[in-house]
Amino acid sequence: MSTERIFNFSAGPSVLPLTVLEQAAAEMTNYRGSGMSVMEMSHRSKVYLNIFEEVKSDFRRIMKIPDTHEILFLHGGATLQFSGVPLNLIGKTGKADYAVTGNFSGLAAKEAKKYGEINIACDTEDKNHTYIPPQSALKLDPQASYFHYCSNNTIYGTEWKYVPETGDVPLVCDMSSNIMSIPVDVSKYGLIYAGVQKNMAPAGAAVVILDKSLAGHEHPLTPKLMSYKINIDGDSMHNTPPCYTIYMLGLVLKWLDTQGGIEGMEKIKAAKAKMLYDMLDESKMFVGCAEKEARSDMNVTFKTDNEELDNKFIKAATAAGFENLKGHRVLGGMRASIYNAMPTEGVEALALFMRDFERNN
């Protein structure tokens, strides 16, 4: 095995900043003089509570989260929230709106159907999820308890470029794959959730940011660990939280500060995505899968006109140190996930490699 790090384009779990990994390694066996690893500490110990409080306050500062909203670090990834959201929120009217623009929003809608009447506000399957509908195409139910959408479609490589207008109906958003890549006005949302393993940390937790006034109305059969109220009251420590993942998230937040915070990240990620999309627009071999206006700056999906050539490309790219470029099985082709921690050099090198491959094939 090589000792060199490769460029890892994995869709998740995904690349982490090298300096974060190095710091975690340096602190692995003895965290700042505590004589223990963070992995070995009681979550109720003073030293861990200090870590936890700092992560939470850094998170609030970096995402500019108003006092009306609570931050929770929960188990079960984004998928558990597909169930947690309806269990906690649908009781208001028994109905909810779901925008289906890809795989995960479809799964979320399917799960929610167990708990209430679900109105599909849009479904982009008619064009294989290659686009995001405009506001005017959303079929909204004013009686909905909430409106759910997914801001970035990890598999299809599309991203919402606007925040849906839903009047008094609270917005709920799965931001798993683009959180912290663009500034978000949190006050517009009733609830935001994200699995951490795309853009924030190693796998093992989901972050939930919610308007506190929405908590406390859960279905009586809601498992207690899924009740937002119980998790707020316990400050995410009703039971043992994903301690180490939260610590790693904290290191990533400190790294984000060195990149100019979310505003800095937005510029960096836009420049990275542009490199690949410019390449695709010029190419006669590769084409992007998503419609131009809907292209994701996090997951760049593309293909050639034949599967054999796709496979040849993936093989050659892997041999050259570009890993995990194979597209998701539902879409085929290629996908380069260029989350916050993917260095600009990695994207630059990939664009160059693609140009070379096209010239030689």
Q: Which residues bind ligand PLP (CB under 6 A)?
A: 12, 77-79, 104, 150, 154, 174, 176-177, 195, 198
130's tokens: 């290659």
Q: How many residues does this entry show for the chain?
A: 361
Q: In angstroms, give the least distance from the CB of 128 to ligand PLP.
A: 17
Q: Is the dihedral of CA 23, 238, 213, 222 positive or negative?
A: positive
Least distance (Å) from ligand PLP to the CB of residue 74? 11
CA gap 110, 96 in Å, rounded? 12
Return the number of the residue (162 or 168) whose C-beta is nearest ligand PLP: 162
Residue closer to ligand PLP, measured from CB, 195 or 333: 195
* Nearer to ligand PLP (CB atom), residue 98 or residue 313: 98
Task: Give the Cα separation of 237 and 337 in Å (integer).
Answer: 32
Contact (CB, 8 A) for 55 and 250: yes
Dihedral Cα 293, 295, 298, 301, nearest 10 deg: -170
Between 70 and 111, CB nearer to ligand PLP: 111
Q: How far is the CB of 338 from ligand PLP (least distance, A)?
A: 14
Closest approach, Cβ 75 to ligand PLP, in A, equals 10
Closer of 112 and 354 to ligand PLP (Cβ): 112
Q: Which is nearer to ligand PLP, 174 or 211 (CB)?
A: 174
Q: Least CB distance from residue 157 to ligand PLP, whole Å?
A: 11
Which residues have a Cβ under 8 Å from the Cβ of 151 and sit 6 or more positions away? 159, 160, 173, 174, 175, 178
Smallest gap from Cβ 325 to ligand PLP, in A, equals 17
Nearest residue to ligand PLP on Cβ basis = 77
> Is residue 180 a contact partner of residue 191, using CB atoms and an 8 Å limit?
no
Q: The tokens 């999820």 sit on which residue?
A: 129
What tokens were used for 136? 């005017």
Task: Report the distance separating Cα 345 and Cα 5, nearest Å.
Answer: 13
